[in-house]
């Protein structure tokens, strides 16, 4: 019955992945402006969908013997303008560099043609079983290089 209802999906524009996000009441503070930490949530959703769109099944990775996952190791964010209730945002994601077990990602949050925030995010690929970083799978690197 509800098979036709799908979750939001992003789209690749060359190497840049764009993911739609709507601002809900729960995302805002008492002044009606998106609470600063929620920009991180929007960016996380876009990174998750980016990896999914590349063909990486994160559920399978978590259920494998080593239980692999990505974790944010470092993040810089530059807020430029506020988002508000009911805004439709586009969150972009692009991998700029791979280094063994880490990847540098660049993200932007847009409202139409207005840039609201920029993020530089370093993620680490971890073996949760070994509790340490491990090389990013070659299949994921190849999928990014094909873009």
Q: Which domains does the chain have, with CATH numbers?
A: 11-145 (3.10.129.10)
The predicted model scores a pTM of 0.90
One digit per residue, the tens of pLDDT, for the chain of length 147 reads 788 887 888 999 999 999 999 999 999 998 999 999 999 999 999 999 999 898 876 666 556 666 778 899 999 999 999 999 999 999 999 999 999 999 999 999 999 999 999 999 999 999 888 889 999 988 889 989 998
The C-alpha atoms of residue 16 and residue 19 are separated, in whole angstroms, by: 10
Q: How far apart are CA 76 and CA 6, in angstroms?
A: 32
Active site residues: 29
Asked whether 105 and 47 are in contact (CB, 8 A), the reply is yes
Pairing of strands 68-79, 16-22: unpaired
Q: Alpha carbon of 66 to those of 28, 52, 119, 129, 138: distances in Å?
A: 38, 19, 30, 5, 16
């Amino acid at each position: 019955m509800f098979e036709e209802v799908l979750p939001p999906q992003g789209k690749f524009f060359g190497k840049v992945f764009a993911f739609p996000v709507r601002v809900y009441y729960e995302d805002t503070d008492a002044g009606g402006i998106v609470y600063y930490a929620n920009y991180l949530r929007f960016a996380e959703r876009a990174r998750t969908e980016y990896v999914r769109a590349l063909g990486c099944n994160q559920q399978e990775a978590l259920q494998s013997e080593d239980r692999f996952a990505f974790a944010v190791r470092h993040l810089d964010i530059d807020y430029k303008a506020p988002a508000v209730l009911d805004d439709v945002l586009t969150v972009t994601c692009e991998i700029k560099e791979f280094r063994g077990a880490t990847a540098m990602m660049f993200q932007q949050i847009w409202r139409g043609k207005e840039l609201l925030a920029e993020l530089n995010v370093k993620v680490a690929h971890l073996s949760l079983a070994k509790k340490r970083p491990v090389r990013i799978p070659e299949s994921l690197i190849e999928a990014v290089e094909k873009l």
